Amino acid sequence: MPSPNQPPPPFSCQYTPQVPELLQQLNCSLMLSTYQAGKLIFLSPKDEHSLVQLPRTFNKVMGVGLHDDKMVLATKDEVLVMRNSPDLARFYPRKPGTYDSLFMPRATYYTGLIDIHDIDFGVDDRIFAVNTSFSCLIEVNFNYSFTPVWQPPFISKLASEDRCHLNGMALKDGKPKYVTAFNAGDTPQSWREEVTTGGILMDVETNNIVAEGLPMPHSPRLYRDALYVLLSAKGALARINPNTGRYDMVAQTKGFVRGLAFHGDYAFIGLSKLRQNSSTFAKLPFAKQAQQSGIVIVHLPTGATVGQIVYQTSVDEIYDVQVLPNSIRPNIVNTDKPDYKMGLHIPGTTFWAPLSNEEKDYF
């Protein structure tokens, strides 16, 4: 514990007592992305009473996608593909015998500044993402900076103008199915005029607006045959009927919500502080009260909040939240240090290459 006269160390967080035990019971870890701090953070149960976290630096990391042993990260101007190797994890030179999974860099796509928000793996491992700057959905591959695959019918042309603030994406059967946006405008940043009341949910297959008048929708997700979305301007998790556009409130928080994942009967919701100098956030009715960032855990059958993680330092804004199933001590390697060059993974086996004297200094 820091002394009364000393500020808490970086990435200090507090959590309700039941959180470590719940994660142990679910046999999972949590992952959050914070573009404001430039970190991807793993939160894992150390035991039934405490958590351990591992922050890794990635440049303005936003959306995160997971599929089996693969992970994809959207950063400031690149998309990174990682792959998990439990064998490399067991012999990780810094802490052998500590980790049960280790995500290693396998490919980088140089997209340029297109402000990718949600991202995920689709059918045949295709990478789909929301290109917020150009108001469209894209496929990320080696052919181009990005390949447009869909744009709302009200967007008349592709231009780097963030016309409707397209932000969220939910896949069904490996293809984009639903998206969220802040309005249906077709002029540069038109969404700012009605930022708290003009949000929409669209069906990508039909081009229909499923629901409108939503308060800053984010993070659409399909789970157990139900469609969920976060209503950020109300601090709420909602379940939407795609046939009628009507929604039911599942849970209410006291802050700005963005980033949503599910595991078992639980929803894990990202909570962000509001920027006090932002003209956009100042319009929210709970602006002065939204002064916490972290993760809220909701029991879906009852809508009750059963746990919360709150950051005291370093983390103010969260974009994405994911659950790492069957892993209670994950690790991830970025390209800032030589670790990623040393871990070699080939079909059937793995190696940690010997370090040079210079590289040993990093360890």
Report the alpha-carbon angle 15-19-22, nearest 5: 175
**Mean pLDDT, consecutive 10-residue segments, the chain of 363 residues?**
71 95 98 96 96 96 97 98 96 93 97 97 97 98 97 98 98 98 97 92 98 97 97 96 95 94 98 74 65 95 96 94 97 91 92 71 53
Tokens of 62: 């936003």
- Count Cβ atoms within 10 A of the Cβ of residue 345 and give its class: 0-12 exposed, 13-18 middle, 19 or more buried: middle
CA atoms within 13 A on the CB side of 92: 23
DSSP 328: S
Residue 314: both structure tokens together:
């370093």
Q: How high is the pLDDT of residue 339?
A: 85
What is the residue type of 48?
E
pLDDT at 286: 64
The domain limits of the chain are: 13-336
Compute the chain's Rg from CA coordinates: 20
Tokens of 13: 């967080």
Angle at 91 between CA 357 and CA 87, to 5 degrees: 130
Strand order in the sheet with 236-240: 217-223, 226-231, 236-240, 247-252
Write out the CATH class of domain 13-336. Answer: mainly beta
- What per-residue confidence (pLDDT) applies to 278? 62
Question: Residue 89: helix, strand or coil by DSSP?
Answer: helix
Q: Which of 220, 226, 231, 295 is nearest to 28 (CA)?
A: 295
How open is the CA angle 89-95-98, to the nearest 5 degrees? Answer: 60
Give the pLDDT of residue 152: 98
Q: Which amino acid is at 182?
A: F
Measured distance CA(75)–CA(81) in Å, rounded: 11
**Which residues lie across from 248 on neighbouring strands?**
239
Strand blocks (E) in 145-286: 147-150, 168-172, 175-181, 199-203, 208-214, 217-223, 226-231, 236-240, 247-252, 256-263, 266-272
